[in-house]
Structures are given as structure tokens and as C-alpha cells.
Amino acid sequence: MLKQDVKKLPSTGVNRILIRGTNWIGDAVLTLAALSAVRNAYPRTRISILAKPWVADVYRLSQLAEEVVIYEEPGRHAGLGGIFRLAGELNGRGFDMAILLQNAIEAALIARFAGIAVRAGYNTDARGLLLTHPVPITPALKKIHQADYYLKMVQALGCGKSAPGPFLRLTAEDEKAADRLLKDCGLEGKTLAGMAPGATYGPAKKWFPERFGALAERLQDDYDVATVMFGSAGDRETTASVQKSSRYSLVDLAGKTDLRTAIAVMARCRLFVSNDSGLMHIAGALDIPTIALFGSTNPATTSPLGERSIVIYRGAACSPCLRKVCPTDFCCMDAIAVEEVYQIAQGILCKG
């Protein structure tokens, strides 16, 4: 799958490593196995992760690095001037090596301008000359699961196996925050079903809100399960549509908590139903029984991690199209019925 002549990273003399994380929540989750492999290869080395603010808590909760450095873009690190500003801030911190999980040329420019001697990553986005340890992309790599895509890269560089997941670990403070929020919402002692009916990429990834609402009704009717909806502020229109489709009052946390608190509450759910989204990957990484609904995207490359995740994918002739908006009849999602999802949820709840 990878050429055997990839230059290996130094095994000694590495005291500080900078890892450039990915920019989206789901992608960040899928890099954690690779990060674990780096941690195992350099157990006594200080690891810092450079990440955008909205994914920082994913990396913090992995507990695989000593610190997360915030890449403020948009903000003070935006544009070419911002890249030089960030590189200047990183320069002088003694980083011996940079491992670039993000594929963009920008990541290589920052590492180069920061004066980091060893710079490793996939040779994507015409950045090969900026890397001291480029890893070639092969056609086979583009077809594998994204978690393996990142893991194969660090393994080609000489890192070994990853530790088994789950990779997200909540602290006592996280648990207290979840307790407080659940109490405020009147959900103490309730059996919870989490739902993520939104999707950042576009409506082609979204199951119908009225079907989420109908599913929530059946779960409450038959099992007295309270539904909690998760998402960003941009998902509020979708969660409001779900609420309109249910005769029960659902708890809508979309855009109302920080990511870390949302993750802590998600961890209390007995099951989680989600479109292909970052929150789906969070649920998988927490090893929550997760029902993942796929239509326009490809579960072979982006299905949730976790042994208790179940994917529903009908594989329409036009799917996976990877479009933001369906140009035809949305048959890939229309083929997923409420009854089918309910039967799987019922099986999860009946296991106790």
C-alpha cells in the first residue's frame, strides 16, 4: 500500500514533537489512532498539537499529548501574515520534529517557517519539497478508512501500533458538568437517546427531520427514553424541525453548550442516532452504541469507530455521490425507514 523506501523518523534525540491536527471534529477523531501510535513510539517525548479552537477539546480529551496549541484562524493567524506570526510563535520552542496530519500546504509552510528541522507528512497539495520526510499517496490509500489513512502514514514513518480505543477520556470535572446540565434539563435518572440530525457539509447527508421526530416518539412511547439533540448553532433549524415532528418535548442542546460539555452528556446516552457527522464520530470514539445513517457519503471510508456502531446504508446506484445537495430524488436517505432504525434501537435498549 505504501512504498517501502519512505524515510523513517529519528528514533532518538527527539524531545519535542509538534503535530498539526486536522480541522474538523470528525477528522480529528479519526486521527487519534495515529496520534496514539506516535505517543507509543515516543513515550517520553513532549507532544504538542496545533489545532483550530473548535477541535481542541477532541485532542485534549484524548490525553495523548501534553498540550494543545491554538491555531487562531479565523483571527490573529489568518492570511500569510498570520502564518508568519504563528510560525514565529512556534519558533524557539525547541520542536525537533513536526508531523503533519493535516494535508494542506499551509501546514508544511508553518513548520518550515518555524524552523522545525524534521517535517513529515503526506506529499499532498504540492508540498513535498517542504517536507524532509514525505510519504507518498497511493491509489489504495484513497480507498481505505480515514482512521487507517492517518495511521498508515505514521507507521510508514516508523511508528508502530496504536493502542486500542476508545480514545476519549472524560475527567471528573467533565462528569460534574454533565450532571449539572442533566439536572437543569430535568433529565436526572432518565434513560437517554442522543440524536444528531444535522450535518455541516450539506443537506445531502441529512436523514429527514420528521423521521428523527417519529423515532423519538416511538422510543419514548415504548421505552420511556428521553431524547437529547446535539449539534452546532447552525443545526438549530434542523433540530427545531425535529421538535415540530414529535408530540413530546425534546431537549435541544444544539449550539447551547461547549463541545466538551456536549461530549460529557453524550457519554450518558444509551444509544446515539446520527447522520454522517463529527458528532457521529465522537459517539463512536466514546463507544456508545451508535446507529449511523449514510446516504451521500461512503461508510467504507468514514464509518464511526467503536465496536458497537451500526451503519445503515442502502447503497443507491448514485451513492456515494459526495454532493452537498442531492440533484435528484434523495433515494439514498428515503430508503432508510423509521421502522428499520427503531428495530435496531430496540435491540440496543433490550440488551440492558
Q: Where do the structural domains in the chain lie, given as residue ranges?
A: 16-156, 174-350
* In the predicted structure, residue 163 carries a pLDDT above the cut 90: no
Name the CATH superfamily, with its identifier, for domain 16-156.
Glycogen Phosphorylase B; (3.40.50.2000)
Do residues 286 and 267 touch, judged by C-beta distance below 8 A? yes
- The answer to whether the beta carbons of residues 208 and 201 sit under 8 Å apart is no
Query: Does position 3 have pLDDT exceeding 60, yes or no?
Result: no
Q: Which of 328, 294, 300 is nearest to 314 (CA)?
A: 294
Query: SS3 of 157, please?
Result: coil
Confidence of residue 200 (pLDDT cuts 50, 70, 90): confident
* Model pLDDT, residue 351: 85
CA distance 199 to 276: 7
Q: Pick the more confident residue, 197 or 2.
A: 197
The pLDDT of residue 2 is above 70: no
pLDDT exceeds 90 at position 85: yes
Assess whether pLDDT exceeds 60 at residue 108.
yes
pLDDT at position 134 over 80: yes
Once rounded to an integer, what is the mean pLDDT over residues 51-79? 97
What per-residue confidence (pLDDT) applies to 352?
63
* pLDDT at residue 325, as a whole number: 93
The pLDDT of residue 169 is 93
Confidence band of 189 (pLDDT split at 50, 70, 90): very high
Query: In this structure, are residues 205 and 328 in contact, taking their beta carbons and an 8 Å threshold?
Result: no
16-156 shares its CATH topology with 174-350: yes
Report whether pLDDT(227) > 70.
yes
Assigned C-alpha cell, 3: 512504498
Would you state the pLDDT for residue 1?
Answer: 57
pLDDT over threshold 70, residue 255: yes
More confident residue, 166 or 133: 133
226 within 8 A of 192, measured Cβ to Cβ: yes
Residue 183 vs residues 218, 255, 256: alpha-carbon distances, Å: 24, 19, 15
For residue 4, the model assigns a pLDDT of 56
- What's the whole-number mean pLDDT along residues 85-95? 96
pLDDT, tens only, 284-331 = 999 999 999 999 999 999 999 988 999 999 989 999 999 999 999 999
Closest CA to 278 of 290, 268, 112, 270: 290
Instruction: Give me the residues paired with residue 291 across strands.
Output: 273, 310
Class of domain 174-350: alpha beta
Report the mean per-residue pLDDT for the chain.
Answer: 95
Check whether 65 has a pLDDT greater than 80: yes
pTM given for the model:
0.94
* Residue 311 three-state SS: strand
* Over residues 184-193, mean pLDDT: 96
pLDDT in tens, 269-281: 999 999 999 999 9
